[in-house]
Chain A
């Protein structure tokens, strides 16, 4: 008996039809694809994207050149030089991140004792020349200025 059923099933391509039913059903469903860049997938507040250096509300840079991020960076992507600034504070003279070396592990952000270096939600960026991949201090501070509002929002969300 089983053999006969099996034969009939096989004869009429039943298992193929079963599959076609599934694919056919999808015709009437809304597509799951996203029309990027108009539509975007949700982005986690913890997302680790492009780096930024933040400032205090009074405009003073947060970074104090402690070099913890440089020390903890597994990919050796961060390179910092420090000196004593004229107001006797410890500041960086060079703060560079090579985004080609960076593995976006987020350790720098975790290590920073003053919340200066952060990984923002920016994931859409490109370089046109090879050396552009090295972000210097000014670039990073600029991104920090641009992204400060989102960063504060993310911090609020992370506390929930």
Chain B
């Protein structure tokens, strides 16, 4: 089949529309409402083209090709139609270019310049629309709207939450949020990119620069393990905004709000700008040499009685150097799993946990079992793939979690279970599991990061692995940080060297304790004691008892101020270069976007300088090369983790507490993005089972491990899971919340 566009012959297939053929062959047709990833409405009429035989010009976006069709995109009939459409579109458009942030990259301007007339024949009063406040992330200027409905279709089709809608008819047509709500979807920022005019704007970018001022640098997201590709736009060494970089393997044309607005925190007042050293009760400014010497001496002094805990948000380079530095000094207790408490699984864990299948293959799956993750909140980009799968293959999606939540895609069935029930429900040896799916299909189990915070994680992992293997399903493991896969591969675990090489020791891994043991030296890398550990009481106790606490941190917190002996000012991800291994085992490099604030330094630089005092042969290039070599050698077939002789640690009759962490505050920078937190992190609650009561309605007192916890947040009651107290809390909570998963008394 073929058609002719502007007298040139093009091969086409059955269901192509004219605009698709034109786009493929780089023939420019103006458009506003058409977007390759959204449905076709043909409402803007900008893409009118002349089709031979048709009486009037036809919209290229909705006209299907016919064999031998002759299309002309530039003749008088087509260009006159385009010119007329353009004139009507501009009739009600305010004369805002000089103050509009879109100006310069505005499709309306470009199309007007190319296809429009010079002058308007319209002299009447223009329409105005009163703006509504729809949140801290997206600002509106609805008078500029041309009703292309891209944002509305995005909500319906891609994000799965109808947040914006079109109301009214004719000149009264408006794009509004329903019932005065703000945008709350984790994908809401994408409407900014979609809007072809300046109606929906980026609030953080508002009026701060011009499009032509901006320097574009590509980078990798540091906020979730998918590793979305992004462009940072900078002006005068400041990040002005962030937009998606199209990547067909990961984030398509979209970006989650965390990635888009997650740079706001780097300008926080909490930033540590100088190397600090403790003098009496205070931390005082010093220089890098002093604290480097302090670190080296401490490492030598305490050697084996030390412990290094590192954030999995760090780059592979930092990780490689960190473990190298510690292991050179005979320190084996290195870990990145600060939020976990059950490590019995670790010997059998895959060298590099991964998603196992390509994201683009999700759409061919028959059944997906999601365990312990609220995908649309934690992995918004993944939820787009799930929606596509449902549309494409009618995929059934099942959810198992410890609390109730909403997803932006339909769930076939959702189960709310406590930790013991979760383990039992996939137990193949005892009873028939209560998962009712067609086991012959192409199925996938996804295990979310929140499961790993449970105290019976190993049991759950073991049961699920056995279940998956016996039913011929694939198992995907999602990490809670950008480089969780990298942390495993780079040996930021106590029992393995980089590349998964086991350290030859007698099997003690089952009794491994990270937080309860006392160590003389603590090196904490890019983690905040208050927020990043599975039990804040325990880590603070540990810090109090240890003889030297060395922090690498970008931000100052109360506990760092109180317990740190020295602090290395770390630059944030955008201020440093490095690489992440994403959940598909893809190594992605990112470069420095802006210069580090103050005296803060790239962690890899700091670590390399210190390492060079032991081993002068290390270089940045050498480290990069080793990382690539390590990754190339790793060969993992599946993610199954089967552990023999595992005890059941839980008794389901006790009341257990499960803390649910908000994904919008999963790392130190995100915790300081105020606009993001105002929009997405306003849902703290404390929930008790229906049959329990509390005496005081304002606050709740919990007894756990001889600690009393007081919480004064919103209270709720729930039917499921039974015997469980749920605490959902954001990243910047003031009160101590205790252990993530433990037995409690009310």
Contact = CB atoms under 8 A, between A and B. Distances in A.
A–B in direct contact per CB < 8 Å: yes
A67 B210 contact: yes
A131 to B, nearest CB: 20
A83 B99 CA distance: 11
A65 B213 contact: no
Contacts of B103: 66
Interface in B193-234: 206-210, 212-213
A146 interface: no
B98 interface: yes
A24 interface: no
B683 to A, nearest CB: 28
A110 interface: no
B208 A82 contact: yes
A67 B211 CA distance: 10
B207 A66 contact: no
Interface residues of B, number: 11
Contacts of B209: 82
Q: Which of B99, B103, B212 has the most CB of A within 10 A?
A: B99
Interface string B94-117: 000111000100000000000000
A64 interface: yes
B212 A65 contact: no
Q: Which of B206, B207, B213 has the most CB of A within 10 A?
A: B207
Contacts of B98: 64, 66, 68, 113-114
Nearest to B95: A113
Nearest to A66: B98
Contacts of A89: 99
A65 B100 CA distance: 10
A132 interface: no
B212 A71 contact: yes
Given A64-B99, A65-B99, A90 B212 contact: no
A67 B208 CA distance: 11
A150 interface: no
A68 B208 CA distance: 14
Nearest to B104: A71
Nearest to B203: A84
Interface string A119-133: 000000000000000
Given A65-B99, A114-B98, A84 B210 contact: no
B580 to A, nearest CB: 33
B210 A83 contact: no
Nearest to A80: B210
Contacts of A71: 210, 212
Interface string A55-77: 00000000011111011000000
A66 B99 contact: yes
A90 B210 CA distance: 12
A64 B206 CA distance: 13
Contacts of A64: 98-99
A113 B96 CA distance: 10
Given A66-B99, A113-B98, A114-B98, A82 B207 contact: yes
A114 B95 CA distance: 12
A85 to B, nearest CB: 9
Nearest to B206: A84
Contacts of B97: 66, 113
A83 B207 contact: yes
Nearest to A89: B99
B136 to A, nearest CB: 13
A13 B97 CA distance: 74
B213 A90 contact: no
Interface string A91-128: 00000000000000000000001100000000000000
Contacts of A66: 97-99, 103
B201 to A, nearest CB: 11
Nearest to B210: A67
Contacts of A83: 207-208
Contact of B207 (A65, A68, A113, A114): A65
Contacts of B207: 65, 82-84, 90
A4 to B, nearest CB: 75
Contacts of A82: 207-209
Nearest to A84: B207
A12 to B, nearest CB: 72
Contacts of B212: 71
Contacts of B210: 67, 70-71
A82 B103 CA distance: 15
Q: Which of A70, A90, A113 has the most CB of B within 10 A?
A: A90
A113 B207 CA distance: 17
Contacts of A67: 210, 213
Nearest to A67: B210
A89 B209 CA distance: 14
Nearest to A113: B98
A89 B213 CA distance: 20
Nearest to B209: A82
B264 to A, nearest CB: 15
A114 B98 CA distance: 9
A65 to B, nearest CB: 7
A78 to B, nearest CB: 12
A68 B207 CA distance: 13
A49 to B, nearest CB: 25
A68 to B, nearest CB: 7
B17 to A, nearest CB: 38
A79 to B, nearest CB: 10
Interface in B72-111: 97-99, 103
A129 to B, nearest CB: 25
A70 B98 CA distance: 12
Nearest to B212: A71
Nearest to A71: B212
Contacts of B213: 67
A70 B104 CA distance: 14
A58 B553 CA distance: 52
A145 to B, nearest CB: 23
Q: Which of B103, B210, B212 has the most CB of A within 10 A?
A: B210
9 contacts: A64-B98, A65-B99, A65-B207, A66-B97, A66-B98, A67-B213, A84-B207, A89-B99, A113-B97
Interface of B: 97-99, 103, 206-210, 212-213
Q: Which 10 A-B pairs have the closest CB atoms?
A: A66-B98, A90-B99, A90-B207, A84-B207, A67-B210, A113-B98, A82-B207, A64-B99, A84-B206, A64-B98
Given A66-B98, A66-B103, A83-B207, 7 more contacts: A64-B98, A65-B207, A66-B97, A67-B210, A68-B98, A82-B209, A89-B99
